[in-house]
Amino acid sequence: MSAAQTDLSQHTPMMQQYLKIKGEHPNELVFYRMGDFYELFYDDAKKAAEFLDITLTARGQSGGNPIPMAGVPFHSAEGYIARLVRSGQSIAICEQIGDPATSKGPVERQVVRIVTPGTLSDEAFLEDRRDNLLVSIYSHKDRFGFASLDISSGRFAVSELDNLEALQGELQRLRPAEILVSEDFPYGDILDGYTGIRRQGPWLYEADSAHRVLTQQLQVRDLTGFGCEDLHLANRQYLIHRAFKTRTLSSPWKLDDSELG
């Protein structure tokens, strides 16, 4: 049974808190802080045990079945997180932000950071001499908008590709750590062999939303001076949206004019 399938009423207040947080982060492994450990539950625990070769145990029951659980020590968590992310997993780090001495129920917790293959910026997580590229692809009438962002250096580039072969060549050249595409992206076969594939709602690539986000971050009224087309806009907006969501970029963020054309 997965966390999404369980009934909240069957659980203790602490597990109810965890399940609500997990419901907000269904695509990430939730590292849930409990004292000196980060604990994972349900399918997250099974994945962590498999990738990290750590012990899978159980905590309580759900629907009469034990709840799978695995944990890693807080003081050595960075190494475990790095291994998971390099294998294509994304991590939501959930910390205790309340005071145990004054909490009447479970200590208040919230996700303070999301770590994904394409948004690593800490030296502890990065492999030497390896670009940590986050790539977004948007398809429209057999043409492709292609944007890449290197979080560690801030390098940002965008291009339009005229055919599928050109897209394949660019992916092979860059070997990105994370690839973002719309849920309705029609060329999923070309992504076989890549890790860190994230499929997102197509509304996140809408031009109106792209225009709003980019003008805010570039601190301009319009984008006429940058020569942006819709394919460019959609990818730029979503890459920036993703970077802010994972808390690896701070606002405002200025892009080099030469990177925008």
pLDDT in tens, 117-151: 766 655 455 554 455 788 888 887 788 888 887 77
Token pair of 228 as six digits: 């942006």
Question: Lowest-confidence range among 29-38, 94-103, 143-152?
Answer: 143-152
- Tracing tokens 């291009």 back to the chain, one arrives at 159
Environment class of 71 (CB within 10 Å of its CB; exposed 0-12, middle 13-18, buried 19+): buried
Q: 133-259 architecture in CATH? A: 2-Layer Sandwich (3.30)
Fold classification of 3-115 is MutS, DNA mismatch repair protein, domain I (3.40.1170)
Rounded mean pLDDT, 110-114: 90
| 243 has pLDDT over 70 | no
Q: Are 259 and 157 in contact (CB under 8 A)?
A: yes
- pLDDT of 22 over the 90 cut: yes
Instruction: Using the predicted structure, report yes or no on whether residue 260 has a pLDDT greater than 50.
Output: no
Phi, psi of 128, rounded to the nearest 5 degrees: -60, 135
Comparing CA positions, the residue from 226, 248, 25 lying closest to residue 119 is 248
pLDDT at 120: 61
Listed by start position, the domains of the chain span 3-115, 133-259
| Ranges 93-97, 127-131, 151-155, 201-205, most confident | 93-97
What dihedral angle (degrees, nearest 10) is formed by the CA atoms of 22, 23, 27, 29? 10
The number of angstroms, rounded, from the C-alpha of 22 to the middle of its chain's C-alpha atoms is: 14
